Each structure stands twice: as C-alpha cells, then as structure tokens.
C-alpha cells in the first residue's frame, strides 16, 4: 500500500505553504516529516516481522519480532496534544472522502461563527492551495500542507504547520485532512475530537466499507441532506451501520449549501468549546 499510495515518498516532497499569513508563495520544506516512515518502513498495521536466522550446523529458525510501527507518530501526536492543552486550543481533525463538502462546511462555519469563536485552520491536500485560498477569503488564519503523493496528514506535518500558524490561546483549530477514508484512520494528530464527514451521495453503507475511520470518530456529520429526495440514501440505515462499527458517535445532519441543520453543528461546536475551556 505504501509504495503505491505514496506514503513512502521522501521528506522533500512535502511542503507547508503559508496562505493569508505571509506571502502566498513562501514555502517551507517539511524536513523530517517522513523521516520516521523511512526508519520504520511499511507503516500500515502489520505489527509482526519474521526474521530468518541461520546458525551453522543447525536448521534455520524463524524469530518473530514485534515493532510499534506508529510509535514515532504517536509520540509526536502527544507532543501536539500537550501544545494544544498548554494553549487551551480545541483541535478538531476533519476526515472524509473527497467531495464530501468538508471545505464548504468549513467555509460557512468560519463566516458565521468566527466572530464568536476565534478560529484557525490547517488545510491538507496533495496539491494546490485552492482550499486554503477559500478559507483565507473568510478572514481566518490558515496554513496549507501539500503532501505530494501522500494520502494523509501525520503528526509531524501538523507540528511543522503549527509554527507559522501560531494559533492563539483559547481558540478553535480545524485540521482538514486529505480526502481519504483509509490512512487518516491510523494517524493521530493530537486532536481532541475526530469528526468524520459523509455526504448522502456516497451511500449509507460507508461505515461498513471503511469501519476504522468511523470507529475512531466521535462525531459524524451527514452533509448534503438537501439531496435526500434524489438519492437512494437512508439516514436510519446509516445510523444502524454506524452502530455496528462505532461507539454511538454523535450524528449531525445538515446541508452546508442551504444551511439546513447547520445550527446543530454550531451548537455542538459551542458546547464542546465551552467544555474544553472549563
């Protein structure tokens, strides 16, 4: 998987771009972002490695070695979490497949809520600053991470982006992950809450197809409900499928396009932010 999806690419392929903070073309090379991947090799969840040992005059023996392949990422995620706790920042990791509408929801949320709650954004995409440009137009501070061929953000990338972003204390940080329902499930970023976003055009069986991402999400946002009359999607079936793979996540149904249901999302943000500040 790693060699085909690009996760094993060299560190110089990943860039952090400052959008709306400094000159748009300023680019920081994210040195060391993938260094831990090169050290640990394949980073998908296969924790056992077989090593054949030949002793002269004896039959070969197979020794089983166990390796925590996500150890380095998890260590950095804990450092990020400590940073957020020290500055009293509520960090949300937004995960979804491409086209779910998470950038549109984020745009609307920032336009309508950032006067009430101080917000900052880290944008993750393989290429372009298109989404960061959209976020910058709302007036929110944003940093774009371009992962090249990489299919997810990791804790080192987020840590690298936090330096130029420097989100204020007592604020809300949105981390918009790369559109992908597989690899982001494995990588903690230091977030307080993982929010999975699904659109009704994707099918109500998504939790069964991608159980890890929905199992790890505390909140599931169902977007594009304005299209429910036109697509074969059942909210009851989605909730049932979620119950089979996760621990009763909060489900919020809305349309980022029409605004239907967004107040429930805003109230959840207010309540979570207030609880985090207490």
User: What CATH number has the domain bearing residue 110?
Assistant: 3.40.50.300
- Helices (H) then strands (E): counts for the chain: 10, 11
In a domain, 33, yes or no: no
Ramachandran angles phi, psi of 148, nearest 5°: 65, -120
What are 226-250's pLDDT values in tens digits? 999 999 999 999 999 999 998 888 9
In a domain, 55, yes or no: no
Q: Please write the tens of the pLDDT for every residue from 48-84.
A: 445 444 555 666 666 555 556 788 999 999 999 999 9
Give me the number of domains the chain comprises.
Answer: 1
Q: Is the pLDDT of residue 140 over 90?
A: yes
With respect to residue 268, please indicate whether it lies within any of the assigned structural domains. Answer: yes
Q: 53 lies in a domain?
A: no
The CA distance from 16 to 160, in Å, is 8
Quick check: is 28 in a domain?
Answer: no
**244 in any annotated domain:** yes
Classify residue 123: in a domain, yes or no: yes
**Domain range enclosing 195:** 88-277
- Give residue-wise pLDDT tens across range 186-210: 999 999 999 999 999 999 999 999 9
Residue 28 vs residue 177, higher pLDDT: 177
Residue 254 lies in a domain: yes
Residue 131 has pLDDT above 50, yes or no: yes
Confidence of residue 20 (pLDDT cuts 50, 70, 90): low
Cα dist. 143→15, 24, 71, 135, 215 in Å?
Answer: 11, 10, 26, 10, 28
Helices (H), the chain: 2-5, 35-40, 71-86, 102-113, 130-136, 155-165, 206-209, 211-215, 235-245, 262-277
């Amino acid at each position: 998987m790693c060699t085909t999806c690009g996760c094993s690419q060299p560190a110089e392929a990943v860039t952090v771009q400052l959008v709306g903070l400094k000159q748009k073309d300023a680019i920081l090379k994210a040195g060391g972002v993938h260094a831990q991947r090169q050290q640990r090799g394949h980073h998908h969840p296969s924790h056992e490695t077989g090593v054949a040992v030949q002793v002269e005059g004896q039959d070969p023996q197979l020794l089983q070695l166990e390796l925590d392949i996500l150890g380095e990422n998890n260590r950095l995620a804990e450092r990020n979490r400590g940073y957020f706790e020290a500055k009293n920042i509520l960090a949300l990791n937004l995960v979804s497949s491409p086209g779910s509408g998470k950038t549109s929801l984020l745009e609307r949320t920032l336009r309508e809520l950032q006067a009430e709650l101080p917000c900052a954004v880290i944008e993750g995409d393989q290429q372009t600053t298109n989404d960061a440009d959209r976020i910058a137009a709302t007036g929110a501070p944003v940093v774009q991470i371009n992962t090249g061929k990489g299919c997810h953000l990791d804790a080192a990338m987020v840590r690298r982006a936090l330096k130029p972003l420097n989100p204020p204390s007592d604020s809300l940080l949105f981390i918009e992950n790369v559109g992908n329902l597989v690899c982001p499930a494995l990588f903690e970023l230091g977030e307080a809450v993982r929010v999975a976003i699904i659109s009704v055009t994707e099918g109500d069986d998504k939790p069964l197809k991608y159980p890890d991402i929905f199992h790890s999400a505390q909140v599931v946002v169902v977007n594009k409900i304005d299209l429910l009359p036109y697509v074969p999607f059942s909210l009851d079936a989605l909730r049932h499928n979620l119950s089979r793979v996760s621990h009763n996540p909060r489900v919020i149904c809305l349309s980022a396009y029409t605004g239907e249901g967004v107040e429930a999302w805003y109230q959840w943000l207010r309540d979570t932010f207030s609880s985090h500040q207490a």
